Amino acid sequence: MADKIIVAFDMYGTLLSTDSISKQLEIYLGSDAAPSIATLWRRYQLEYTWRLNSMEQYEDFAAVTRNSLRHALNESGQQLKDTEIESLIKAYDSLHTFPDVGPALNRIANNSSIRAVIFSNGTKDMISNSVLRSADLSKHASIFSDLVTVDEIRKYKPSPITYQHVAKKVGKELSQMGEIWLVSSNPFDIVGARTAGMNAIWVDRAARGWQDAACPGIEPTAIVHSLEQIVTKINSKH
């Protein structure tokens, strides 16, 4: 019997919409300020992980998420009470999925040749809460055979160590990295996975085309505009 195809899903920005936190921000900051602060929050959340990697330091993703929110608020000239900030951090465990996520995961549930896992920068608690308790993802929780987090190795994507870590967690040797498919909407994640030897599908929902030039010549294995297309793309390569 052939081995199942390993498909590792990124969480934030791929399955879960980080922009959906705007609705919670609106409660405290109003509808005018919320969208721009949500964008800044995400920007600094990612930037902090890259800084920490470069400095060989580590703060878990819950702390990074909290600290980057404070940065976004300060830069925007906004202030929130500690209790309001903690409420927003808690809300991060209940982000909404993108519209294409449900149909895509249903397709995978009906495909016995694929083994799906989550592979995220989030802490185990954050990922577990999102997958097991959120209204959007909990109905699909059984699809994922494992929830793999970088918290276990204290490094963030796109460090090569993180991709080696997920390979080990799914029972693959480093020489078998090409047997794993990363699915992500984050270009830095795609480049990291490809550099590490994985296949990678970039989810280009905005249909803008591949533009990342951090490592010229490195591109996704495949590009889709909807998660519903990933099974077809993977099957075409096998």
Work out the burial of residue 218: count CB atoms within 10 Å of its CB; fewer than 13 is exposed, 13-18 middle, 19 or more buried: middle
Model pLDDT, residue 209:
96
Average pLDDT, stretch 175-204? 98
Query: Given 1.10.1500.10, 1.10.150.240, 2.60.40.10, 1.20.1090.10, which CATH number is that of 18-94?
Result: 1.10.150.240
pLDDT confidence of residue 134: 81
CATH 3.40.50.720 correct for 5-16+95-236: no
Taking only the tens place, the pLDDT of each residue in 82-101 is: 999 999 999 998 899 999 99
Q: Which is nearest to 149 in space by CA: 128, 186, 105, 119?
A: 119
How many C-beta atoms surround the C-beta of residue 206 within 10 A?
8
Share of the chain above pLDDT 90, in %: 92
Residue 132 is predicted with a pLDDT of 87
Average pLDDT over residues 16-31: 94
Kindly report the average pLDDT of the chain as a whole number: 95
pLDDT at 237 over 90: no
**For residue 207, is pLDDT > 50?**
yes
Q: If you average pLDDT over residues 219-229, what whole number do you get?
A: 97
Are 215 and 191 spatial neighbours (Cβ–Cβ below 8 Å)?
A: yes
Quote the CA–CA distance of 226 and 107 in Å, as a whole number: 13
Q: What is the pLDDT of residue 2?
A: 61
Q: What is Dmax (Cα atoms) for the chain?
A: 60
Identify any residues that bridge with 202 across adjacent strands, giving them in sequence order: 184, 223
d(C-alpha 107, C-alpha 183), whole Å: 15
Name the phi and psi angles at 98, rounded to 5.
Answer: -75, 155
Distance CA 42, CA 121 (A): 13
| Res 120 pLDDT > 90 | yes
What integer pLDDT is reported at residue 3 of this predicted model? Answer: 85
Written as six digits, the tokens of 45 are 């959340």
Q: Give the Cα separation of 186 and 191 in Å (integer).
A: 9
Task: Please report the pLDDT score of residue 1 as a whole number.
Answer: 41
Residue ranges of domains in the chain: 5-16+95-236, 18-94
Packed helices 82-91 and 61-75: angle between N→C axes, nearest 10 degrees: 130
Are 16 and 96 in contact by the 8 Å Cβ rule? The answer is yes
> Which tens digit of pLDDT belongs to each residue from 121-176?
999 999 999 998 888 899 999 999 999 999 999 999 999 999 999 999 999 999 99
Q: pLDDT tens digits for 24-71?
A: 999 999 999 999 999 999 999 999 999 999 999 999 999 999 999 999
